[in-house]
Structure formats: structure tokens, C-alpha cells
Amino acid sequence: MAARPPGGGDTKEPEAIEFGIAALDARLDEADVSFPATAAELRDALGDQEVPYDAQGRSLTMADALDRVPKQRFENETAFLDALYPVFDEARREERGVIASLRDALPF
């Protein structure tokens, strides 16, 4: 016979941590943004919000993220998110130190 899993009747799923493109996508849904749009229009619509780029909560401001993107016009939301993906990815890699890299290489 199997035991019942522990719980106090709370069937809620744990909250997911959104960062990077997922967090930005959620902010786009809340903002008054329409495409095509320029980087300046997106900066105005999104303000200077901080967008977390990793699970530890480190973040970039939208102004900083947009400054790192070479494109200044985005035809649709997908093009905008695709252009910002490398920015968040690079920020994650820059923050990683030697200790974190060694820790990832170890089997435990």
C-alpha cells in the first residue's frame, strides 16, 4: 500500500520564477505596446523597468537591454524578443565566475 503524499489540502502549484524572455513577455502583455515599434517607443512604453535575467534575481533595466540591441525597429513582438534573447544570455554568462563554472563541472 502506498502512503499519501504530505500536504494540508493545499492543491496550489508552486509559483514559477520568470526571468529573461519569459519575464519580458509578461511585461509586454501588461504594457500598452503595439508593433511595429522602435526602440524609443518601447522604452517609453515599458519605462525603466528592471527585467530579471536569471533565477537569482539579477536584472537589467529595459533601457540598458535596449542599448545593447543593434536593431532600432521591430516588426513584431517575436522579432523584439528574439533580438533581446542574446542580451539576457550574455548578461547571464558575464555574471558567472570561475567558482560557478567549477561547481557546474562537478558531479555533485
pLDDT in tens, 4-38: 445 555 555 446 667 788 888 888 888 888 899 99
Region label for 52, one of left (φ > 0), alpha (ψ between -120 and 50) or beta (otherwise): beta
On the CB side of 89, CA atoms within 13 Å amount to 7
Q: Cβ distance 69 to 51 under 8 Å?
A: no
> pTM to 2 decimals?
0.69
